[in-house]
Amino acid sequence: MRAWTAPDLPTLDGSGGRLRVHDTALDELVDVEPDNNEARFYVCGITPYDATHLGHANTYVAYDLMYRALADCGHRVVYTQNVTDVDDPLLERAEQTGVDWEELAEDQVSLFRDDMTALRVLPPQHYVGAVEAIPSVVELIESLRLTGAIYQVDDPDYPDWYFEVRRAPGFGRLAKLSDSEALAIFGERGGDPERRGKKDPLDCLVWRMARPGEPSWESRLGRGRPGWHIECTAIALQHLGAAFDVQGGGSDLVFPHHEMCAAEGAMATRQPFAKAYVHSGMVGLHGEKMSKSRGNLVLVSRLRASGADPMAIRLGLLARHYRTDWEWTADSLREAQRRLDRWRDAVARPSAPPAEPLVAALRTALRTDLDAPAALSAMDAWADAPGNDPDAAASAAQAIDALLGVRL
Interface residues with Zn ion (CB under 5 A) are: 44, 232
User: Looking only at residues 336 through 395 of this chain, which bind ligand 5CA when binding is defined by CB under 6 A?
Assistant: none
User: Looking only at residues 78 through 137 of this chain, which bind ligand 5CA when binding is defined by CB under 6 A?
Assistant: 82, 84
Instruction: Quote the distance between the C-alpha of residue 110 and its chain's center.
Output: 17
In the bound complex, what is the minimum distance in angstroms from residue 13's beta carbon to ligand 5CA? 34
Select from 2-10, 50-58, 185-193, 362-370 the region that touches ligand 5CA (CB under 6 A).
50-58
Q: Could you give the C-alpha distances from 43 to 57, 88, 302, 355, in angstroms and in order?
A: 13, 20, 25, 33
**Nearer CB in complex with ligand 5CA: 52/398:** 52
Instruction: Identify what 262 binds: ligand 5CA, Zn ion, none; CB under 5 to 8 Å per kind.
Output: none
Which listed residue (21, 32, 41, 47) binds ligand 5CA by CB under 6 A?
47
Widest CA span in the chain: 79
CA distance 368 to 9: 21
User: Looking only at residues 267 through 286 of this chain, which bind ligand 5CA when binding is defined by CB under 6 A?
Assistant: 280, 282-283
In the bound complex, what is the minimum distance in angstroms from residue 318's beta carbon to Zn ion? 24
Position 250 contacts ligand 5CA (CB under 6 A)? yes
**Nearer CB in complex with ligand 5CA: 60/161:** 60
Instruction: Identify what 47 binds: ligand 5CA, Zn ion, none; CB under 5 to 8 Å per kind.
Output: ligand 5CA
**Nearer CB in complex with ligand 5CA: 55/405:** 55
Q: Could you give the C-alpha distances from 191 to 155, 221, 290, in angstroms and in order?
A: 18, 21, 21
Residue 115's Cβ-side half-sphere holds a number of Cα atoms within 13 Å equal to: 28
CA distance 121 to 77: 14
In the bound complex, what is the minimum distance in angstroms from residue 345's beta carbon to ligand 5CA? 32
Omega prior to 256 cis, within 30 of 0 = yes
Which listed residue (24, 58, 108, 332) binds ligand 5CA by CB under 6 A?
58
- E strand segments, 117-198: 126-129, 150-152, 161-163
Binding mask 290-329 toward ligand 5CA (x if CB under 6 A, else -) reads xx--------------------------------------
CB-CB neighbours of 98 under 10 Å? 6
Select from 54-62, 68-76, 189-197, 385-393 the region that touches ligand 5CA (CB under 6 A).
54-62
Instruction: Identify what 55 binds: ligand 5CA, Zn ion, none; CB under 5 to 8 Å per kind.
Output: ligand 5CA
**Nearer CB in complex with ligand 5CA: 185/347:** 185
Instruction: Identify what 289 binds: ligand 5CA, Zn ion, none; CB under 5 to 8 Å per kind.
Output: ligand 5CA
- Cβ pair 216, 225 in contact under 8 A: yes
Identify the DSSP state of 120: T
Position 56 contacts ligand 5CA (CB under 6 A)? yes
Nearest Cα to Cα of residue 66 among 371, 283, 272: 371
The DSSP line for 314-367 is HHHHHTS-TTS-EE--HHHHHHHHHHHHHHHHHHTSSSBS-SHHHHHHHHHHHH
**Nearer CB in complex with Zn ion: 44/383:** 44
**Nearer CB in complex with Zn ion: 262/299:** 262
CA distance 120 to 311: 8
Instruction: Identify what 291 binds: Zn ion, ligand 5CA, none; CB under 5 to 8 Å per kind.
Output: ligand 5CA
* Residue nearest Zn ion by beta-carbon distance: 44
Instruction: Quote the distance between the C-alpha of residue 319 and its chain's center.
Output: 18
Residues that bind ligand 5CA (rule: CB under 6 A) add up to a total of: 21
Burial of residue 147 (CB within 10 Å: 0-12, 13-18, 19+) is middle
The dihedrals phi and psi of 230, each to the nearest 5 degrees, come to -65, -25
List interacting residues with ligand 5CA (CB under 6 A): 44-47, 55-56, 58-59, 82, 84, 232, 249-250, 252-253, 280, 282-283, 289-291
